[in-house]
Amino acid sequence: MTKDNIREYLIAKGRQLVVENGADFLTARKLAEASGCSVGTIYNQFANMDNFIMAENLQTLEALKNHLTALLPDSNAYKTLNRYLDGFVRFVLGNKNLWFLLYNFHLQASMRKLPRVYLRAMIEVIEVWKPAFESVFASIRPRERRLSMQVLWLSLFSVSSLLTTPVLDGMGNVNKKTICKLLLNAYLAGLTALKKD
């Protein structure tokens, strides 16, 4: 832990804490102890814990983007979208605690404005889906297509918050991936059907 990469070190340690012990475990003191420094050092690197969590989330978003980008597009754009969905659900379920940290932050930061760099990272994740989506709905007007795309992402993003909790357990044996698959394909089929009218 040399001084020029304390930030990276803290973020890595923080990620480890979240992955191993859950998002609640990420507190200033526990992070300090795990990192072998004092709370003051953390506050020297980050204005506050919210900023730290944002830095953590930025890495999570980057990881998700890379995870999606690595998937090969199919010749069929529909299949490509399903592949992205698959990758997305896999990522969320495989990184439950980190994703909970991220979504929870979005909800908690209710009154504040999120900084540009953060919104940018979100957008970049959506951009991965964009070509395939545009290919499927090439005939729709750009304005509507943009909205349709946003709604698709928002619904998958928000539903993903439920995937990290046992809220769904109260609704019988619902398979989490099945939920997302149905949501995606019904939505896509619906857009296709609606545009013909």
Partner DNA sequence: AAAAAAATTGAACAGTGTTCAATTTTATTC
Partner DNA sequence: GAATAAAATTGAACACTGTTCAATTTTTTT
Footprint of its own copies (CB under 8 A)? 22, 100, 103-104, 106-114, 119, 122, 147-148, 150-151, 154-155, 157-159, 161-162, 164-171, 174, 178-179, 182-183, 185-194
**Binding partner of 142, given DNA, its own copies, none, CB within 5-8 angstroms per partner class:** none
- Nearest distance in Å: CB 190, its own copies: 3
Q: Which residues bind DNA (CB under 7 A)?
A: 3, 6, 26-30, 37-41, 43-45, 47-50
Tally of CA atoms within 13 A in the half-sphere of 143 that contains its CB? 0
**Closer residue to DNA (CB): 2 or 139:** 2
**Closer residue to DNA (CB): 26 or 149:** 26
- Nearest distance in Å: CB 189, DNA: 45
**Closer residue to DNA (CB): 43 or 157:** 43
**Binding partner of 89, given its own copies, DNA, none, CB within 5-8 angstroms per partner class:** none
- Nearest distance in Å: CB 141, DNA: 45
User: 3-class secondary structure for the chain?
Assistant: CCHHHHHHHHHHHHHHHHHHHCHHHCCHHHHHHHHCCCHHHHHHHCCCHHHHHHHHHHHHHHHHHHHHHCCCCCCCHHHHHHHHHHHHHHHHHHCHHHHHHHHHHHHHCCCCCCCHHHHHHHHHHHHHHHHHHHHHCCCCCHHHHHHHHHHHHHHHHHHHHHHCCHHHHHHCCCCHHHHHHHHHHHHHHHHHHHHHC
**Closer residue to its own copies (CB): 39 or 162:** 162
